[in-house]
Structure 1
Amino acid sequence: MQKIPVGISACLLGHEVRYDGAHKYHSYIERTLGQYFEFRPFCPEVEAGLGVPRPCVQLRETPDGIRCVGVKDHSLDVTESLQEAARRQQDWLGGMCGYILKKDSPSCGMTRVKVYKNDIPARQGVGIFADYLQSAFPSLPVEEEGRLGDAGLRENFIQRVFVMQRWRDLCEQGLSAHGLITFHSQHKLIAMSHEQNQARELGRIIAGVTNADIDRVGAAYFSALMSCLKVVATRGNHVNVLQHIQGYLKHKLDSDDKQELVETIENYRIGLLPLIVPLTLLRHHFRKEPDAFIDNSFYMLPHPAELSLLNSI
């Protein structure tokens, strides 16, 4: 299997590039996700020429806006250097299907980075590189290593990476109206589990699509899809999707099997079971009673089972 290209803060892979010459190696990222992701390590502070070791920097609120300056020497302003270093990465960043950032970093933190005003910190900032990354590539799945400890956020990020890779594969083959409609059919249930209004909008976007307007419609569709998938799927939405799938078996199960499936979905709804249990039961029934739409839906297996992501949500 070809690995998926994913950018990452270099320190998370054990590269000794932090301001003090240390690293922040993350074993789950390298040992588990590394089986599926081809990581492209990058440190914006090193790329900006700040060196290792280097003066520690922080975000500060100034009359000129948020600046990245030295902790001890506020006259050391590296904001433009970091921004320029980020812009130089445009080409290879455009080929990534995801990015994992170092939390709390004034360059790489994606959320709740400390911003100092009169030496009083408030967790309201975004790192300089992270800000550029998310602005320049709004559909790119981006997450912090700290947030990957949350089962829901972890599954959400990894799912989006796999969706983006499948989209890239489709586009490389040559996007067509038929291909787009098929892709939507394969991902419709996934979108429904995230945000149902946005999922319905996806259907409206591709309605009546032709090869003549495929580039415009395809771009609009993918942007809307990735926006939808940024919303973390809820247990309630999953229940709606599971019950929707259950409807395809309405005339194919006996009363005992129907009751077992109803009870399993209900036990998932109230938190007694993880999502993998009703999905496994549904897969069992569809192996005996195949349905083309369900068989081709990535909702049934959105990412490799070995990652065990559905066991914890």
Structure 2
Amino acid sequence: MNREHPIKLGISRCLLGDEVRFDGGHKRDHFLVEVLGRYVEWVPVCPEVEAGLGTPREAMRLVGEPEQPRLITIRTNRDLTRPLAEFSHRRVRELEAEDLCGYVFKKDSPSCGIERVRLYNKHGMPGRAGVGVFARAFREHFPLTPIEEEGRLCDPLIRENFIERVFAYDRWRSLLSAGGTRRALVSFHTIHKYLLLAHSATHYRSLGQIVAQADRYRPKELPLRYGKLFMEALSVKATVRKHVNVLHHLVGHFKAHLDRAEKAELLSLIDDYHRGLVPLVVPMTLVKHYVARFEVPYVRDQIYLNPHPKELMLRNHV
């Protein structure tokens, strides 16, 4: 996890405690500011303020069809769709220079919500099919960049998956920056084997085919094609069953070195995790101990063992 510069993540400004909401308030998020903020550099954006709408301002809502909603002020019925859309497309182009590895949006916001934003039909009835104007522009411009809403990050599984994808995206970007050679891609694929298997064995096999048939692709096309499927794989939910399968694969690399008591203890901890009695970090800690003790380089180099800073304690939940 040692880096010359911290990973950059975009974020809705109100989540950092800036008083930029329509009512002049904020929505400071403790985890994002005090915990994750120690490992990333935030790039704050408030589309509504930066588009010149001011603070405080009249509340707005999305109206119309899901694919082409309009942004309308609630009291005066002003249509602000065009100025916010024009700003959004300009701002996402500016964000290219920031090399963002992820973005945390404010949930339910008509500008920043990424899903289930209130969308009103012509009769004034609300549904939950809306996407914020700025969030839509960002997602279209940066389709592979991990995004999430702060509300969903309260779920420990969603939180772990998002942060895991952020660090994985950073590693893939580093691969591209280094030239993305075929040899480098083989190494990249090798060290991500068990992380990928914890998410999707199907994607892992497909990625393996891309690597095996690398000569069929142009040098610049190869890492891009791989990266798209790589990020898609990590968006598939990792489950307890998949983790247990990976743990047994890891044990297979050194079980011949274990005596009967050691093997029984390790398998018992994996079973305890499978039954929901202990968090993933418990069997993982013993696996890493044996990997170091028996000097198993192939397993030692697996990103699965350390996909994100351990201080975030993302694998400590049951």
Shorter-chain TM-score above 0.5: yes
SS at the partner of 2:265? helix
Tell me how far 1:255 sits from its aligned partner: 1.3
User: What corresponds to 2:207 in structure 1?
Assistant: 202
Pairs within 5 Å for 1:101-180: 101-117=105-121, 118-180=123-185
In the superposition, the TM-score normalised over structure 2's length comes to: 0.94
In the superposition, the TM-score normalised over structure 1's length comes to: 0.95
Q: What does the per-residue CA deviation read over 1:157-190, in whole Å, with 9 as the maximum and x for residues that have no partner?
A: 1011111111222222222111111111111211
| 1:186 pairs with 2:188 | no
Pairs within 5 Å for 1:275-294: 275-294=280-299
Tell me how far 1:107 sits from its aligned partner: 0.5
SS at the partner of 2:166? helix
* Rounded Cα–Cα distance in structure 1 between residues aligned with 2:65 and 2:264: 63
- Aligned pair in 2 of structure 1 residues 63, 193: CA closer, same or farther (>3 Å)? closer
Tell me how far 1:84 sits from its aligned partner: 1.2
Tell me how far 1:62 sits from its aligned partner: 5.5
The answer as to whether partners of 1:176 and 1:211 remain within 8 angstroms in 2 is no
Q: What does the per-residue CA deviation read over 1:100-142, in whole Å, with 9 as the maximum and x for residues that have no partner?
A: 0000100001111111122222222111111111122111010
More divergent stretch after superposition (60-69 vs 81-90): 60-69
| 1:89 pairs with 2:94 | no
- Aligned pair in 2 of structure 1 residues 144, 251: CA closer, same or farther (>3 Å)? same
The answer as to whether partners of 1:177 and 1:211 remain within 8 angstroms in 2 is no
SS at the partner of 2:129? strand
Counterpart amino acid of 1:82? L
Match 2:245 to one of 240, 245, 251: 240
- Aligned pair in 2 of structure 1 residues 98, 62: CA closer, same or farther (>3 Å)? closer
Aligned residues: 312
Tell me how far 1:80 sits from its aligned partner: 2.0
Tell me how far 1:145 sits from its aligned partner: 0.6
The answer as to whether partners of 2:165 and 2:234 remain within 8 angstroms in 1 is yes
RMSD: 1.7
Counterpart amino acid of 2:152? R
Counterpart amino acid of 1:253? L
More divergent stretch after superposition (140-149 vs 191-200): 191-200
* Rounded Cα–Cα distance in structure 2 between residues aligned with 1:196 and 1:82: 42
Identity between Structure 1 and Structure 2 (%): 43
The answer as to whether partners of 1:60 and 1:116 remain within 8 angstroms in 2 is yes
User: What corresponds to 2:81 in structure 1?
Assistant: 79
SS at the partner of 1:248? coil
* Rounded Cα–Cα distance in structure 2 between residues aligned with 1:82 and 1:28: 29
Runs of 4+ with >6 A deviation: none
Tell me how far 1:92 sits from its aligned partner: 4.0
Counterpart amino acid of 1:116? Y
* Rounded Cα–Cα distance in structure 1 between residues aligned with 2:311 and 2:276: 23
Tell me how far 1:212 sits from its aligned partner: 7.2
